[in-house]
Structure formats: C-alpha cells, structure tokens
Amino acid sequence: MIGLTEAVVRFGPRTILDRLSFVVPVGRTLAILGPNGRGKTTTLKAVLGFQRLDAGSRTAPDIVGYVPQTASSNQRYRAIDVVVMGRAAHLGLFGQPGPDDFDIAHAALERAGASRFAGHFFDRLSGGERQMVLLARALATGSAALVFDEPAAALDLHNQERLLTLLNGLRALRDKAIVFTTHDPNHALAAADDALLMMPDGQSLFGPVMETITPGHLERLYGVPMRIVDLPGPGGDPQRAVLPAFAGIRAA
C-alpha cells in the first residue's frame, strides 16, 4: 500500500498540497493528472519521503521502485550496471551484486523491452532509452510499490504504446501498488484503475478512472473543451479515447 493522508506541503507562502489524501493498495494502479505546476511531482516526492510534509502522513513500503522524470549521468556506467543498482537495498552496506542480481537485472531489462541496451553506456543513450532502463531498474527492486514520474514524457508514440502495455501487464498481475503521473488522460484510460485529478483551484478529485476521466472533469482540470470518443480496440471492442477540442480546429 502507498499513499498520503491529509498531506500538506508549503513552499514559503504558497500551499502546494492542501490536505491531500489518497491510498493505492496492492493490486491497484493510480494515474495522477494535473496542469503544470499543480504539484504532481511534489506529490510523488512526498509519497517517496523525498519531500517533507508540513502536516499529514505518508504510507509506503521500505523499498519503492522509482522512475524519475529525467535522468543524467556523468559516470560511464553500462545500462546493466544501472539496473543492478536497483538491487542495492537487498545487498547490505558492503554487499556486492552476485550472479542472481545480474540475472534479475537482465530479466527486468527484457521485460522493459530494453535488453539491447544492456552493454551500452547509460550516458550515451537517448532520453527515451534511459527511461526504459530506469523502468527496468525499478522492476529489479522487487518492490510491491512502483512510482513513475511522467514515464512516457520522453518516449515516441511507439514506445509510449510499449510502456502502456508494460504498465497494463503489471496491473493485470495485481501484485503491486502502482502510481504514475501523466499529462495525457488516455494513459489513465489505458493503464490505470483510479485517477487523481489535481485541479487548478487547489482541490483534488480521486476515484475510479471511468468516473473521473470525463469531459466535464477534464475541462475543469485543463481549461480546454474535451470529448470522449470510441475507437476500435485491438480485439474489435470499443476503446475510449480523449480528444481535446482543439484537435478539430484545422478541420473547422
């Protein structure tokens, strides 16, 4: 289980989180959406214990698999070594990774679709490639809680689809509590059970995706008219998608 209870975070006179509460039990996936500057990343940092709370409390396991929004490295680590770092909490203070740890790391790279980067230097990878390696590192922790800060931000459309397929596969196993932030409501529809909408007026809306990802709520969230459309899914069944109204401006 992972979440916040009545969490308050202030930066000087500005209140970023105002008595924010949500809980993600093992077996559920939460998508957090909101406009720029509303506090999505601050929320994740508070859950992870990286951000001090001015009030309230956090709930999280001792080990959490975390994928930050961006990553850079000045060290010439191979991608496989970066993923093995996810095993650090299992090794003890002076422990060294063994064959089993490298096997877990290679399996995580395979699952993330990044096996081909195992021997590549992390600092030579593109932003999207690094993101896939960091996702593998999070999986290698073996944690029952995974937290992703805009994991699709640096990915092209093909790799976004691969990422969402991976997240959906993890969700289907129902053995982890998963939290990710995104700007795209379609990501929530594709890979989440619940959504947390961080409204621009400081309020928040938390609930099942089918109840929260609606045109009215999204228009209030982003200040842009929204439409829900049905598209043919992979099996021919209708699949919901969200379109902002400006998508039709050129045609009009």
DSSP string, 168-237: HHHHHHT-SEEEEE-S-HHHHHHH-SEEEEE-TTS-EEEEEHHHHSSHHHHHHHHSS-EEEEEEE-TTSS
36 within some domain: no
154 within some domain: no
pTM for this predicted structure = 0.88
Specify the number of domains making up the chain: 1
Dist CA 126 CA 124 (whole Å): 7
75 within some domain: yes
pLDDT tens for the chain, 252 residues long, are 999 999 999 999 999 999 999 999 999 999 999 988 889 999 999 999 999 999 999 999 999 999 988 766 666 899 999 999 999 888 876 778 889 999 999 999 998 889 999 999 998 998 888 888 999 999 999 999 999 999 888 788 888 888 898 899 889 999 999 999 999 999 999 999 999 999 988 889 999 999 999 999 999 999 999 988 888 877 777 788 998 877 555 554
Task: State the residue range of the domain holding 72.
Answer: 65-142
180 within some domain: no
191 within some domain: no
- 195 neighbors 209 (Cβ within 8 angstroms): yes
176 within some domain: no
